[in-house]
Amino acid sequence: MRRPDDQERVYLEAVLATYISLPGTPSRPSRQDRSLARDLCRRGVPLRIVRTALLLATARRTLRSGPPLPPVRTLHYFLPAIEEVLEQPPVPGYVEHLASKLQSLVAEKDRLLVTAAASSDHRRQTRQISAVSHRR
């Protein structure tokens, strides 16, 4: 199912923003992540289904007992969860419950990303100032 470009862009932004906001996922989506999000959009997979699957799989990874699992490296990791949610959606209210359980971890990742971005900006400005002063 082909969607207009603006709808596809909104879909991609929503999927990728949800993906990178979750604990244990990269801070930036890869080219392959963008491609998969585009494929999901073009296949007509509802955004609600994708978000539900991402939350469900992340909650399973994060809220389980035992040692921490290695970070997720790709959106492809979530494909089985997307298929699961398409076949058997969770009961109403369950996704909101999982989202509330993950909220503090999502907020912590967001805080770390903001701090890292500010630090990166500071380093970039310092390099620019240094480069200008060396040219003189």
pLDDT score at 122: 54
Q: With beta carbons less than 8 A apart as the criterion, state whether 105 and 23 touch.
A: yes
Q: Compute the average pLDDT of residues 66-77.
A: 94
Q: Comparing 4 with 67, which gets the higher pLDDT?
A: 67
Residue 74 has pLDDT above 80, yes or no: yes
Q: Comparing 3 with 80, which gets the higher pLDDT?
A: 80
pTM for the whole structure: 0.76
CA distance 54 to 38: 16
Angle between helices 5-21 and 31-43 (to 10 degrees): 130
Beta carbons within 8 Å of 28's beta carbon, 6+ residues apart: 20
pLDDT score at 127: 58
Beta carbons within 8 Å of 3's beta carbon, 6+ residues apart: 11, 41, 42
